[in-house]
Structure 1
């Protein structure tokens, strides 16, 4: 299993965008695949946020994730978000999401982020709790989780 920045394998961006559209974005009537592709393209950075990363098993694209900056009025102080952790159904249960989450935590440390936050469905809460995230808000069918990095600015 190898994790890389999406910027280092830009040919994978279309597949990542398709995953994101199929899994989440299609639920928004204003979303299009082209818009998702544009958002993914904005995350193809090497040393700044937003930053996207992908995992490969041998030569197969096996998952993706992103760290983004967002100022959301409902969540003051929660500005850095782990987003888009995705693993295709056929590859789930192999530790890929764990590797992506730990990679994101490592990147958060490298960027000296005060915390990393995420929004997830109830069935994923335990997964993120194993990686130091705690539920800080609950909204309808989603949990807002945060992982603080003590001593970092």
Structure 2
């Protein structure tokens, strides 16, 4: 069974998740070390404010992560962004990424954001989740946007 929660509630998974992000996207900032990436990832251990990281885990082992961040890059003028979506190869195709993305979207809606953005290496996957292509490109990938439903009123 896969469990999904905010990193703040499962910080023991931060080192492994951060190492995935370093290996997958570290080339974008060659000066950053694994320690730097781990520190930035741990800064996402928030419960009710951006940035927030989410983790999926099975049997005490992380199997995926995604984040909701204000900006993906310092140059961003809009947001928040669904970022750092990663599931190790052996766990892909099980809906883990989809559930993590939905958690990020739900959190964004609860925080009052009307839409979320992302840059997509696999745009077709995100189109299935309701994202639409924009005319922008970032890191050689198309930028996509999704309008969010308003959060349900709290009792």
The two structures share one fold, judged by TM-score above 0.5: yes
Pairs within 5 Å for 1:1-150: 1-70=2-71, 76=77, 78-121=78-121, 124-139=122-137, 141-149=140-148
**Aligned residues of 1:62 and 1:88 also touching (Cα < 8 A):** yes
Displacement of 1:120 in angstroms is: 1.6
**Aligned residues of 1:5 and 1:52 also touching (Cα < 8 A):** yes
Displacement of 1:57 in angstroms is: 2.7
Give the TM-score, by structure 2 length. Answer: 0.86
Displacement of 1:5 in angstroms is: 0.6
Displacement of 1:27 in angstroms is: 4.6
Distance 1:2 1:36, change over 3 A: same
Displacement of 1:31 in angstroms is: 1.7
For residues 37-92 of structure 1, what are the alpha-carbon distances to aligned partners after superposition, in whole Å with 9 as ceiling and x for unaligned? Answer: 1110110011111001101134331100100012868654x220000010001111
For residues 130-152 of structure 1, what are the alpha-carbon distances to aligned partners after superposition, in whole Å with 9 as ceiling and x for unaligned? Answer: 11111113427311011112668
C-alpha RMSD of matched pairs (Å): 2.1
**Aligned residues of 2:109 and 2:149 also touching (Cα < 8 A):** no
Unaligned runs of 5+ in 1: none
Displacement of 1:26 in angstroms is: 3.7
Unaligned runs of 5+ in 2: none
**Aligned residues of 2:51 and 2:70 also touching (Cα < 8 A):** yes
Give the TM-score, by structure 1 length. Answer: 0.87
Displacement of 1:118 in angstroms is: 0.5
Structure 2 counterpart SS, 1:61: strand
Distance 1:151 1:109, change over 3 A: closer
CA distance in 1, matches of 2:127, 2:57: 24
